[in-house]
Amino acid sequence: MRGLTQNQKMPYSYPNRPQTHATPPTDLKRKITTAQSVWKEEFATYNGGSRYKSLFPNLNQQPWFHKLAPSTDPKPKSFFTTITRLRTGHSNTGHSKFLKGLIESSNCPHCPGTLETITHILLECPNYSAARIHLFHEIGAHIPHPFNVDTLASSPHTIVQTATFNLLMKIGIYI
């Protein structure tokens, strides 16, 4: 039996026209621009992430690590994890683990009665003062004084990010 049967539709194609489903570049650019506008508006009106928004008020089209040269100075995955955690305020410090119910005390193991926060580890704990002094000398010219963890986290300078990461690795803190 030849021809169409029951509910079949006759296939149709335009003569002399290539069949393609690719989106023309002009349409794609328009869609990307629209999506970026929607994303920026959602970012601005979303009520969460106030700390991050205060550190990074403008959305960049490139990730924070796009300026790193992987061929000349390759970084381990832990570098990107650590700096991202600093930037977002999420870490695996004693205080953070305590809030998640993973440990029984949020105190610093070296400073009884003091919360083990990233601020305490990087800027206050006397147990890490020698490593901290080295950090201050290394980043002093690249960051405004006085500085805090947010200043370190929001610094666009690779040397600040690398020195902060190296300090944490040297003292054995994996946030």
Q: What is the pLDDT along the chain (175 residues), one digit of tens a residue?
A: 565 566 666 555 556 665 566 667 777 888 888 888 888 888 888 888 888 888 888 777 788 888 777 767 788 999 999 999 998 888 899 999 999 999 999 999 999 999 999 999 999 999 999 999 999 999 988 888 888 899 888 888 889 999 999 999 999 988 8
81: in domain: yes
- Specify if 59 maps to a domain: no
Tokens found for residue 9: 């539709």
Based on the structure, what is the number of domains in the chain?
Answer: 1
Q: Measure the CA–CA gap between 41 and 58, rounded to whole angstroms.
A: 11
Cβ–Cβ < 8 Å for 106, 123: no
| Contact partners, residue 42, CB within 8 Å, separation at least 6 | none
- Entry pTM: 0.70
CA distance 83 to 24: 38
**Residue listed under structure tokens 């992987």:** 70
Q: Are 160 and 139 in contact (CB under 8 A)?
A: yes
| In-domain check, residue 100 | yes
**Which residue range forms the structural domain that includes residue 143?**
77-170
